[in-house]
Homo-oligomer: A and B are copies of this chain.
Amino acid sequence: MKRRQTHSTQEILELLKAENQAMNHEMIQSKLDSQVNRATIYRVLNRFCEDGIVHKIVGDDGKQYFAFCLNCTQKTHNHNHFHFRCTQCGKVECLEKEASISLPEGYVLENFNGLISGTCNDCT
């Protein structure tokens, strides 16, 4: 199944590239120039995730956030870094430091989801 480029996919990808933060569907929808259906946004984002272009973080608010992959090559698609979510302004940004986690014997890692919330530098 080959992917097609549409207005929606292009706009959403550009937005994610331009913004230096992870965004949930609502933030994305409100920042798009054209109106895109909610279901479509989710489908586009999930497709991006499947393709390894974008990664998904679940915030401690229970919402899904999406961010453009910066340091991921096609082979190593790792996101073992923390994200910081500001409870004041809502911004979700990547914290650079990689977290190295050693799991107990017999445990297999599928997904790393490290999130710290609090107040960011701008809102202190």
Contact = CB atoms under 8 A, between A and B. Distances in A.
Interface in A59-116: 59-64, 82, 84, 87, 95, 97, 99, 101-116
What is the count of identical protomers in the complex?
2
Instruction: Bin chain A's interface residue count.
Output: 35 or more
A121 interface: yes
Contacts of A121: 104-107
Nearest to A57: B60
Contacts of A113: 60, 113-117
A39 to B, nearest CB: 17
Interface of A: 58-64, 82, 84, 87, 95, 97, 99, 101-121, 124
